[in-house]
Amino acid sequence: MSAVRSTILSAVLFVTYIGIGALAHDTHFSLAWALLATLLVWAGPAQIILISTLASGASVVQSAIAVTVSAIRLFPMVVAVLPMMRTPETKRRQLVLVAHFTAVTLWVECYRFLPHVPRDRRIAFVHGLGSGLVLIGLVATVIGYELAANLTQTLGAAILLLTPLSFLFSTARNSRELADVLALGLGLAFYPLASLLDSGLDILISGVAAGTIAFAVHKWREGP
């Protein structure tokens, strides 16, 4: 738990989940729904996409597509995290919970903490770290939900504004490569254009277009 306390990222996590709790309240989801989403989805962007698409009237299939595309980034994260704790005796099922806990916060913290943890203790360490982070997320979800239910309109708006601000800055902080910076900037700029189409898949359309252009520029700069 001391590992959890000492991370700055857990403050970002806390703020993000306060925003998610408030968003769930203002879009008329139940508290149990919001808590189950935090526990079982455990990915801030996916939860916000799920809530905002469903609230804006998208079908289950449209929401599922938007969520699954946003979740693709978890695949390379899991692929990168697991070798750090695998030993020749490790069975795959021992890593299921580690895979579930893997999200951007855990991913970054593994690089920071695991070198100081003996290899045979790493799975246990990550189980502890992951549970602590999920607990922070659950508590923050309740706080955000209740705050949105009880605060004045202006303070409620301030809570909802936490999500775009904390997401933008934590993503910008993690964007070291040109492709990531471009994807972030173009993604912000393209969404208002795509939303004019009013297709129900606006986020997907702007995301794939902006991401592909960012990738193309990255390849072009790299040379043939």
**Binding flag, residue 214, other proteins (CB under 8 A):** yes
**Binding flag, residue 156, other proteins (CB under 8 A):** yes
Work out whether the CA dihedral 149, 154, 155, 161 comes out positive or negative: positive
Structural tokens at position 44? 């801030």
**Binding flag, residue 186, other proteins (CB under 8 A):** yes
Asked if residues 171 and 207 have their Cβ atoms less than 8 Å apart, the reply is no
**Binding flag, residue 195, other proteins (CB under 8 A):** yes
Task: State in angstroms the smallest separation of the CB of 25 from other proteins.
Answer: 7
Asked if residues 82 and 108 have their Cβ atoms less than 8 Å apart, the reply is no
**Binding flag, residue 102, other proteins (CB under 8 A):** yes
Non-local CB neighbours of 66 within 8 Å, separated by 6+ positions = 49, 50, 53, 58, 201, 203, 204
Report the alpha-carbon distance of residue 118 to residue 121 in Å, rounded: 6
- Tell which one of 55, 138, 139, 143 touches other proteins (CB under 8 A): 55
- Tell which one of 18, 117, 134, 148 touches other proteins (CB under 8 A): 148
**Binding flag, residue 1, other proteins (CB under 8 A):** no
Nearest Cα to Cα of residue 147 among 165, 161, 132: 161
- CA angle, 169 then 187 then 48, to 5°: 65
- What residue type is assigned to position 163 of the chain? T
Site for other proteins in 20-39 (CB under 8 A): 22-23, 25-27, 29-33, 36-37
Site for other proteins in 117-146 (CB under 8 A): none
Site for other proteins in 59-98 (CB under 8 A): 60-61, 63-80, 82-83, 92, 95-96
- Tell which one of 4, 114, 133, 204 touches other proteins (CB under 8 A): 204
Task: State in angstroms the smallest separation of the CB of 76 from other proteins.
Answer: 5
